[in-house]
Structure 1
Amino acid sequence: MTAREDGRSTEAMRSVEQLDPATLRQADMSDDGGYLTLSSRIAYENPWTKMREDIIRRPNGQDGLYGVVERGEFVVILPLGQVDGEPTVTLINQFRYPVGRRMWELPMGMWETRPDANPDEVAAGELREETGLIADRMTHVGVLYQGAGYSTQRGHVYLATGLTQGPAELEATEQDITRHTISLVQFEEMLRDNVITCMVSIAAFALIRSRGLV
């Protein structure tokens, strides 16, 4: 069936909506969305994660079940360096048990023992811990939610520049991590070729790129 056969014009299908500032700001507003929480319980908990089970009433009046993963805030850092005038990016490679494979990622992490720590401090600490890098400047670029359909976890995106190499300080659970400094060109090739499949790393780079910072 063509667009004209089902009563819609080709021109209408090609229309573009321009969102006004008030509409854009709605994303920053706290809103229950018309949902009512009837009951809530913690179904599972460990030092890093809580699994909450809520009985809810949707805006249409239907009751339902919602599983919510509660995790603390995390940081993800793009370490942007330079070798012989060529921009570089430092990645880590590590085994991710849930998916059963090694992953190429930007340095990232959270401090579960200090959930109220300033994100700037966490970002500098995670960068040093996983890569040994110390940055003269850490630029907070923005925030993202890594799985808003099921999790409360929010992440802070940083660009690290003015890098100095030091020793990494890997935790006991991170001993399989390896560090790799590659050209920005190869990093973008890895994104394009779907070699990098970590959605947080991809989203962080897209945000930094959209701001014209790299």
Structure 2
Amino acid sequence: MPSDKSPRGSLGKTLEDARRDAGFQTLSTRLAYSNPWTALREDIIVHPNGKQGLYGIVERGEFVVILPMHADGRITLIRQFRYPVGERLWELPMGMWETKEDVDPIELALGELREETGLRAGEMIHVGSMYQGAGYSNQKGHVFLARNLTRGETELESTEEDITCHDMTLEAFEALIRDGDLKCMVSLAAFALIRAKGLI
């Protein structure tokens, strides 16, 4: 799991330094729960106003989300059942590797795209980074645009066998958003970033 001692931002500050500079003090920290994918840490902190409090932080490894753009302008989405919400969701391909720490984001993006869709990308553009839910988690994500695609076999894990792939026009994708059928926040944010940068 990520460590609070890791560098943060272009200034190279650790999270501990950044919190101290913002007026926060960490009095104690403990690992409340952990499994191979997620850890929950509880910190006793002092807020800038001097009040003491408890902060629960969900720790997860970095993830990638990829928008695959074909030469004819179509994009590839996946659908899969998400157990926590009990719905089958439209999503862009995304994921993290629990068994391999400190993996290069481009390597991870190429691997996740291949595993979930069977697509091989000749060009993988790193568009930017974002936090999945900075109010409760330290998980960081990387947004990619995949181009020069060729199709091969998927390499789905046993827990992903319900995933289906769907090629659609950009207009059809935007209709999913307008109609409220695409509910994945990460996919929406990734698309907005790619669109705002004029890449599609």
TM-score above 0.5: yes
| Larger Rg belongs to | 1
Instruction: Give the drift of 1:203.
Output: 0.3
Q: Secondary structure at the match of 2:133?
A: coil
Instruction: Give the drift of 1:37.
Output: 0.7
Letter in 1 for 2:68: P
**Structure 1 match to 2:180:** 194
> What is the distance in 1 between the residues matched to 2:179 and 2:128?
26
**Structure 1 match to 2:106:** 120
> What is the distance in 2 between the residues matched to 1:155 and 1:36?
26
Q: TM-score, normalised by structure 2?
A: 0.90
Q: Secondary structure at the match of 1:56?
A: strand
Q: How does 1:128-207 map to 2 (within 5 A)?
A: 128-207=114-193
**Structure 2 match to 1:64:** 53
Is 1:79 the counterpart of 2:68? The answer is: yes
> What is the distance in 1 between the residues matched to 2:10 and 2:133?
17
The one of 4, 17, 24 equivalent to 1:35 is: 24
Residues 127 and 193, structure 2, Cα contact 8 Å, conserved in 1 = yes
Q: Secondary structure at the match of 1:176?
A: coil
> What is the distance in 1 between the residues matched to 2:197 and 2:97?
27
The one of 74, 86, 107 equivalent to 1:88 is: 74
> What is the distance in 2 between the residues matched to 1:119 and 1:102?
27
Instruction: Give the drift of 1:73.
Output: 0.2
Aligned residues: 185
Instruction: Give the drift of 1:193.
Output: 1.3
Which ranges of structure 2 fall in alignment gaps of 5 or more residues? 1-8
Q: Percent identity?
A: 63
RMSD after superposition: 1.1
Instruction: Give the drift of 1:192.
Output: 1.4
Which ranges of structure 1 fall in alignment gaps of 5 or more residues? 1-26
**Structure 2 match to 1:10:** none
Letter in 2 for 1:89: I
Q: Deviations over 1:155-183 (max 9, x none)?
A: 00000001101010000110110110111
Q: TM-score, normalised by structure 1?
A: 0.84
Residues 70 and 147, structure 2, Cα contact 8 Å, conserved in 1 = yes
* Structure 1 moving runs of 4+ over 4 Å: 27-30
Q: Deviations over 1:95-126 (max 9, x none)?
A: 11111111100000001111211000000000
> What is the distance in 1 between the residues matched to 2:168 and 2:162?
19
Instruction: Give the drift of 1:194.
Output: 1.3
Residues 82 and 88, structure 2, Cα contact 8 Å, conserved in 1 = yes
Residues 71 and 147, structure 2, Cα contact 8 Å, conserved in 1 = no
